[in-house]
Amino acid sequence: GAVVSQHPSWVICKSGTSVKIECRSLDFQATTMFWYRQFPKQSLMLMATSNEGSKATYEQGVEKDKFLINHASLTLSTLTVTSAHPEDSSFYICSAREQILPYEQYFGPGTRLTVT
């Protein structure tokens, strides 16, 4: 099956710094990728839809200036958490949707972000 990777798998950063998380579709092209956030013992919440070559679409309540998304190619989307704070500590998961029918969606393994 198709593979989606995320890098890094975990990261610890200091409060006030920025962190970039990469999501790559390894063996297929993805016009659309999705970014989710998951707090401990909770479900996944969609943060934004990343569209190759255009601006991301953010869900209500998600600060677009804090969570910068760039989808510069058909295989790579990045999420940058700017000026991170401890409350941004979470598990960030991306998914990538195939361009062709039936538009299967594949999830990455997630990135654990801890802000100290």
Partner 1 sequence: SQQGEEDPQALSIQEGENATMNCSYKTSINNLQWYRQNSGRGLVHLILIRSNEREKHSGRLRVTLDTSKKSSSLLITASRAADTASYFCASSRNAGGTSYGKLTFGQGTILTVHP
Biggest CA-to-CA distance, the chain = 43
Please name which of 36, 19, 29 lies closest in space to residue 74, comparing C-alpha atoms.
29
Is residue 91 within the footprint of partner 1 (CB under 8 A)? yes
Q: Which is nearer to partner 1, 2 or 16 (CB)?
A: 2
Binding footprint of partner 1, residue count (CB under 8 A): 27
Closest distance of CB 44 from partner 1, Å: 5
Query: Which residues lie across from 75 on neighbouring strands?
Result: none
Is residue 112 within the footprint of partner 1 (CB under 8 A)? yes
Q: How close are the terminal C-alpha atoms of the chain, in Å?
A: 37
Of 34, 35, 81, 90, which one interacts with partner 1 (CB under 8 A)? Answer: 34
Cα 49 to the center of its chain, rounded Å = 9
Measured distance CA(46)–CA(30) in Å, rounded? 17
Radius of gyration of the chain (CA): 13
Is residue 53 within the footprint of partner 1 (CB under 8 A)? no
Is residue 42 within the footprint of partner 1 (CB under 8 A)? yes
* 108, 4 Cβ separation under 8 angstroms: yes
Is residue 77 within the footprint of partner 1 (CB under 8 A)? no
Is residue 97 within the footprint of partner 1 (CB under 8 A)? yes
Contacts to partner 1 by CB under 8 A: 31-32, 34, 36, 41-46, 49, 51, 57, 59-60, 91, 93, 95, 97, 103, 105-110, 112
